[in-house]
Structure 1
Amino acid sequence: MSSPVEIPFKSVVLLDRISGTPVYLQIARQMINAIQRGVLVTGAKLPGTRTLAEMLYVHRKTVVAAYNELDAQGWIEMLPNKGTFVTKKSPVDESKRLSFNANDLVSYPKQAGFSFDQSMLLDKPVSVSNVELEFTDGLPDVRLAPMDKLAKAYSSVLRRKNNRKYLNYSHVEGNAFFREKLADYLNNTRGLHINSTNVITTRGIQMGIYLASTLLIRKGDNVVVGNLSYYVANMIFQQAGAKIISLPVDDQGISVDAVRKLCATTRIRMLYITPHHHYPTTVTLSPERRMELLNLSVQYGFIILEDDHDYDFHYNSSPVLPLASADSAGMVVYVGSFCKAMAPGLRSGYMVGPENLIPELGKIRRIIDRQGDLMMEQALGELLDEGEIQRHIKKAQKVYHQRRDLMTDILQTHFADYLTFKAPPGGLAIWTEWRKDINLMRVSKACLKQGLHLPQTLLFQTGQLSAMRLGFGNMDESELQESMLILKNVLEKIV
């Protein structure tokens, strides 16, 4: 058996005095690690508790507790009048002792020992910065979210004994009460004609797109998107094996003529659109084109996946109703969420579709998310029932309207030499088209040095296009003014 003096215990056991893990557990776990990796082999004699305590500068009782833990787990055996040894139960053989490296014991492997496919999908899709000012692609201001109302409702739900059923597993397509109130809300705000059996809850719009793609798309299917389109949705379709076909988008939305011509020669499985405010250009799909697309979907049999991410915020007039509100043939799958209306971190979304589609979507969802958060859905359902969410959206819309007007005034007054734009009728972002001689990536890097983050995902610069999507929703008026001043100063220096 090995003598304990041959084993570098000071290197085997590296203690973190400020860690929340008790010291005795740190000792036990690192010795287990050493046994597993062959540094402490079967039959190795361990130092006495006093000796090891002196080596590690800990109390003897700490080592006793560590040895008791190792003994309880079966890693060591304590033999009276002989000492403490690594048990023969250990799978490590003396002949296979590994070379010792202390860093190997305190870090997880950086490289997998097996092969796997690596994908470009969502490869660093969002750049992160620690600066306080940041333009987004249209995120809301989470400071406006009615968290006090939600906290009160959620706390009440947790305290009620009759809600304990939501703590168990479920096989439903979401909380029944929430689905019922959500259906009423969508009927009232979007002109739909649905009930709870037409609704399944999700963790946001991206999950809805993923569920629809997994269920409805097969490898080689053609999916039509606008040019430009939502890059995350494109990646989801690509992951499903679809062939993506981009068609032109003008100031009235995606070109229906281009869709019609394509259908005449190519079988289309799905058309993905963001009709209320097209991503990223913010244009609204005209009512005429909506009806034409519905007719074409029936004629050629393609699915319309309608992503209505920005419906809740409109400033000039009542919004154009979704395609789903006029769908009488069951060709539209409607995807939405409360992530913009409330806060992105509250991952609450939904899908609307024909009644026989919902259970099949539910089967797919249960593979990746057993049932969602039924307690939170109950709380959100109660806020919908009490009109709290509706009142919040109405108040937030006024705030965002003021921020949009401030942003457009600044752009018109101070940026006319650099870009052109149209004030969006709704949503939380403005599409700006820039002079082609301006390097937007250079602008982004210079802004970051001045404390303003312009993520790369907001920049659209090719040989034919130079544009930027600037979200105004996440910043208050003083933050918007400061951010635009930084952007102007950068442009004056580098252009």
Structure 2
Amino acid sequence: MISIAQFIRIDRRKSDPLYLQIAYQFINAVQRGLIPVGAKLPGTRIWSEEIGVHRKTVVAAFDELEAQSWISIKPKVGAFVQNPTLKVRNVDGEITNRSDVSDRAAFSFRKSFVLSSPFEKEEHRFVCNDGQPDYRIVKTQELSRFYTGALKRRYIQNNIGNYAVQENDFFKDQLSYFLNLTRGFHVSKAHILSAKSREMLFYSLTKVLMNKNDVVLVGELSFFSANMVFSQEDVQIKTVPLEDDGIDVNYIKQHFEKGEIRCVYLNPQQSYPTTSVLSTKKRKALISIAEEYDFVIIEDNENFDFNYVKTVELPMAAKSGKGRIIHIGSIGKYLHPTLQLSYMVAPSDFIEEAKKYVSLLNPQGNFVLEQALGEMIVEGDLFRYLKKSIKIYRERRLNFHSLLNLYFKDEIYFELPSNGFAFWVEFKTQFSLVEFRDELKKNGVFLPRICMYQNQNQTALRLGFAHWTQEEMEEIFPLFRSAYDSVVER
């Protein structure tokens, strides 16, 4: 009979329950072939003595292993080892090995090159990005108490799995309060639709708003995820030139007829990727043209919370629009990704229709997450975390600015961004960004393709600063400079 103590070690310092530690280590031993399938296990009393835990703990571990089919318990006979990943029963009840799935389908299907993920996975010491927060600032363990607390609410437990209840009214009340307070809105929960990602909201609004061959205007350089979703509706995506203060609004009147445009997509707070801010004059002009030319404005304002200047332009949808502006934003962007949500603010009749598509993709909704975020708003923790994060990001923004000046002052054009998590850096000299990326790799730095912008007239990078500490920045900038010098000298 097997001596179980050689495979299982209890660590009472861990937060995992003891019975789960036993179960996990047992499963690991079976998967590695250390405990043979079919072997009879010692009784629970022997386990208790060998491992040094109470017999009830061993019984709980056995129950867990039996529930997952890792052991088979036969009354008055004993417990026997199984491996559910190796064998299955066929329709005749015979045990057979699993067959390999073919690498090539025997049927035709649609392929989409447009939807190919632009993200790359690389293992390097330093990884650049296009502007993401530092999830180390707000500790995950601290955040977990909100989610754990939400799970314990009787209201939550009574509605989990109830497909008829897809939205958390408590959260929507708190979110409307939060938006009215921080963004100048005057909305109720009827004007708000929440989802786990912006892309889900983009998908829902395209299904409700756009038809085949509709004209959708975006900036000459624009957010790739939105363009990917829009293109699935076979719309005509046309570009508008960019200026220092945002898109060229007059270009719309000069090149399009009334009724020709279905919608205009933009981020007025920080244009992607250039980080430019749409001026007040242009915002007013765009709203006026939208009424005159009868089109919809899709206002993407994901990073609104992260402003580093005293005077902040409120969202266009909060100031005007007369039912023509669909506003998209995020809540908790500075928290761990599992605790973030995106939202849409629009006329209530549009929200009701768009909700159908979000519900189709996620029929159970985000009930527990919404409860946790709602409680964070009520208790003031969301504001506290935001204040803490902004202070750190403001310092990092200035540090990144100083290092750009120190290492590249004469070689680049750039401005200090007034909000967001990224710098837009244009090089005065034309060189290959692909070769620059390869040089960086040699020094343990990964530069994703989504950060690189190059054509015959432009060599530019969108570089995130928020995810690096000052020490990390000071270490990475000499590597940037070394790679730049190597490429330019060729």
TM-score interval (norm. to shorter): 0.7 to 0.9
**Which residue of the partner structure matches residue 39 of structure 1?**
none
Find the aligned partners of 1:394 and 1:266 in 2 and give their Cα distance: 44
1:85-119 CA distances to partner (integer Å, 9 max, x unpaired)?
x9xxx9xxxxxxxxxxx9xx653221112111111
1:187-219 CA distances to partner (integer Å, 9 max, x unpaired)?
111111101111111112222112111211111
Give 1:333's match in structure 2, choosing from 326, 341, 345: 326
Q: Secondary structure at the match of 1:357?
A: helix
1:415-452 CA distances to partner (integer Å, 9 max, x unpaired)?
12331101101110000001342211111111011111
Q: 1:345 to 1:135 in 2, by over 3 A?
A: farther
Establish whether residue 74 from structure 1 lines up as the match of residue 67 from structure 2.
no
Superposition map of 1:260-339 within 5 A: 260-264=253-257, 267-338=260-331
**Which residue of the partner structure matches residue 428 of structure 2?**
435
**Which residue of the partner structure matches residue 116 of structure 1?**
109
Find the aligned partners of 2:35 and 2:83 in 1 and give their Cα distance: 14
| C-alpha contact 1:126 1:455 (8 A) present in aligned 2 | yes
Establish whether residue 164 from structure 1 lines up as the match of residue 178 from structure 2.
no
1:286-307 CA distances to partner (integer Å, 9 max, x unpaired)?
1111111112112222111111
Establish whether residue 486 from structure 1 lines up as the match of residue 479 from structure 2.
yes
Q: Secondary structure at the match of 2:416?
A: coil
Q: 1:170 to 1:450 in 2, by over 3 A?
A: same
Q: 1:338 to 1:416 in 2, by over 3 A?
A: same
**Which residue of the partner structure matches residue 373 of structure 1?**
366
Find the aligned partners of 2:256 and 2:158 in 1 and give their Cα distance: 49
**Which residue of the partner structure matches residue 18 of structure 1?**
32
Structure 1 residues 346-355 or 302-311, which shifts more? 346-355
1:400 deviates by 0.5
Q: 1:391 to 1:23 in 2, by over 3 A?
A: same
Q: Secondary structure at the match of 1:269?
A: strand
Percent of aligned positions that are identical: 30
| C-alpha contact 1:175 1:378 (8 A) present in aligned 2 | yes
Superposition map of 1:235-250 within 5 A: 235-250=228-243
Q: 1:124 to 1:153 in 2, by over 3 A?
A: closer
Establish whether residue 127 from structure 1 lines up as the match of residue 120 from structure 2.
yes
1:220-240 CA distances to partner (integer Å, 9 max, x unpaired)?
111000011011111111011
Which amino acid in structure 1 is aligned with residue 93 of structure 2?
W
Superposition map of 1:202-241 within 5 A: 202-241=195-234
Find the aligned partners of 1:153 and 1:20 in 2 and give their Cα distance: 40
Find the aligned partners of 2:410 and 2:345 in 1 and give their Cα distance: 45
Find the aligned partners of 2:284 and 2:221 in 1 and give their Cα distance: 22
Find the aligned partners of 2:165 and 2:264 in 1 and give their Cα distance: 28
Q: Secondary structure at the match of 2:130?
A: coil
| C-alpha contact 2:265 2:297 (8 A) present in aligned 1 | yes
Gaps of at least 5 residues in structure 2 are 1-29, 40-78
**Which residue of the partner structure matches residue 375 of structure 2?**
382
Establish whether residue 477 from structure 1 lines up as the match of residue 470 from structure 2.
yes
Which amino acid in structure 1 is aligned with residue 92 of structure 2?
G
Give 2:402's match in structure 1, choosing from 409, 414, 427: 409
Find the aligned partners of 1:300 and 1:464 in 2 and give their Cα distance: 33
Q: 1:65 to 1:431 in 2, by over 3 A?
A: closer
| C-alpha contact 1:311 1:319 (8 A) present in aligned 2 | no
Give 1:355's match in structure 2, choosing from 331, 341, 348: 348
Find the aligned partners of 2:392 and 2:310 in 1 and give their Cα distance: 16
Find the aligned partners of 1:20 and 1:468 in 2 and give their Cα distance: 51
1:328 deviates by 4.6
TM-score by length of 1: 0.79
Which amino acid in structure 1 is aligned with residue 445 of structure 2?
L
1:252 deviates by 1.0
Q: Secondary structure at the match of 1:278?
A: coil
Q: Secondary structure at the match of 1:304?
A: strand
Q: Secondary structure at the match of 1:460?
A: strand
Q: 1:457 to 1:70 in 2, by over 3 A?
A: closer
1:339 deviates by 5.5
| C-alpha contact 2:171 2:370 (8 A) present in aligned 1 | yes
Q: 1:171 to 1:295 in 2, by over 3 A?
A: farther
Find the aligned partners of 1:440 and 1:455 in 2 and give their Cα distance: 11
Q: 1:173 to 1:463 in 2, by over 3 A?
A: farther
Find the aligned partners of 2:280 and 2:199 in 1 and give their Cα distance: 26
Find the aligned partners of 1:212 and 1:347 in 2 and give their Cα distance: 20
- Which structure has the larger Rg over C-alpha atoms? 1
| C-alpha contact 2:130 2:463 (8 A) present in aligned 1 | yes
**Which residue of the partner structure matches residue 147 of structure 1?**
140
1:370 deviates by 0.8
Q: Secondary structure at the match of 1:178?
A: helix
Q: Secondary structure at the match of 1:342?
A: coil
Q: Secondary structure at the match of 1:113?
A: coil
Give 1:398's match in structure 2, choosing from 391, 394, 397: 391
Which amino acid in structure 2 is aligned with residue 442 of structure 1?
E
Establish whether residue 178 from structure 1 lines up as the match of residue 171 from structure 2.
yes
